[in-house]
Amino acid sequence: MAPPILSLALPSETGRVLSIQSHTVQGYVGNKSAVFPLQLLGYDVDPVNSVQFSNHTGYPTFKGQVLNGQQLWELMEGLKANDLLYYTHLLTGYIGSVSFLNTVLEVVKKLRSINPKLTYVCDPVLGDEGKLYVPPELVEVYREKVVPVASMLTPNQFEAEQLTGFRIVSEHDGREACNKLHAAGPAKVVITSINIDGHLLLIGSHEKEKGQSPDQFKILIPKIPAYFTGTGDLMTALLLGWSNVISLFLSNFESVIFLFHVVFYCVSFFLFMQSRNTQMILQRQQSSQYQACRYVSW
């Protein structure tokens, strides 16, 4: 007789997270940026890779597979068949098609039918710096269907503008955009990066009771003149992890500090390796020159 199957799909003080995001073999974006930090914070995380690519799409080429909506639903049915579909949190990031996003909405309904208190943290990955990363038709689906069911929304400046139809050029505009997003659905909104006067401004807003004025705050972040991938995915994961146990402001503060240390380490390591490689090249050049001189003298 086979031993009974022990299910770990039970409520816990920390939580169980279903994370639907991209995955790359090399590099850290999507689930590669989100899963491990959440595990370190004590969460049980089940990743679903919306895509699996060799590397992120910023490289000249990439190869891999894309999960479609039917395949996503099959995974959910497999979890349901084994009583493994209880989650406290749903986290979504990059999604590349309308059909897949519509299936994600069905997943939200299914998870909330099992746990009505499910927290849905949505990073509406649409684009940045005036450029869309996804098909334009996804914007309307996010605006009309996803935003109303999200518990927390973490857009950047460009994404917040796309979702609200409101131009953000100041701190006041950022706060107003948060109000517009609250009116559409989510109780918590964090606009993670607004470019103002050479700095990045984070604006957070928490509407504790529907219709009441939200608690709002800002965090001014020094801007590093470099491009990093996966930082937004990490930021949203940290916000999920910490906002479950402390206030939205403190969770943002902790997340920004953590993220700053990660970026600072990356920059420091890059400069160290660059310096080390330069020294190695100089040593090789000096060595070859020395060998050449010695050979001639011989």
N-term to C-term CA, the chain:
83
Q: pLDDT tens, 251-296?
A: 666 766 666 666 656 666 556 666 665 554 445 544 443 333 333 3
What is the DSSP annotation of 47-96?
EEEEEEESS-TTSS---EEE--HHHHHHHHHHHHHTT----SEEEE----
Share of the chain above pLDDT 70, in %: 79
* Rounded CA separation 218/135 (Å): 31
The per-residue pLDDT for 224 is 73
Q: Give the rounded distance of the alpha carbon of 52 from its chain centre.
A: 16
Mean pLDDT across the stretch 66-74?
Answer: 95
Looking at the annotation, which residues are catalytic?
Answer: 233
149's tokens = 């069911």
- Residue 190 neighbours by CB under 8 Å, 6+ apart: 152, 153, 154, 202, 203, 204, 205, 239, 248, 252
pTM: 0.83
Give the number of residues written for the chain.
298
The per-residue pLDDT for 64 is 93
∠ CA 110-114-119, nearest 5°, is 80
Q: pLDDT tens, 39-53?
A: 988 899 999 999 999
* Rounded CA separation 244/248 (Å): 9
199's tokens = 């700095």
Rounded to the nearest integer, the mean pLDDT of the chain is: 84
The per-residue pLDDT for 198 is 81
Q: Alpha-carbon Rg of the chain, whole angstroms?
A: 23
* Structure-derived torsion over alpha carbons of residues 58, 59, 63, 67, reported in degrees to the nearest 10: -10
For residue 203, the SS3 value is strand
The per-residue pLDDT for 290 is 33
For residue 279, the SS3 value is helix
**Mean pLDDT lowest among 17-26, 56-65, 131-140, 246-255:** 246-255
Decide if pLDDT at 217 tops 80: yes
Confidence of residue 161 (pLDDT cuts 50, 70, 90): very high
Check if the beta carbon of residue 233 is closer than 8 Å to that of residue 123.
yes
Neighbouring-strand partners of residue 121: 91, 152
The beta-strand segments (E) located in the chain are 16-24, 44-53, 64-66, 89-92, 119-122, 127-128, 131-132, 152-153, 188-196, 199-206, 215-222
Confidence of residue 220 (pLDDT cuts 50, 70, 90): confident
Decide if pLDDT at 25 tops 80: yes
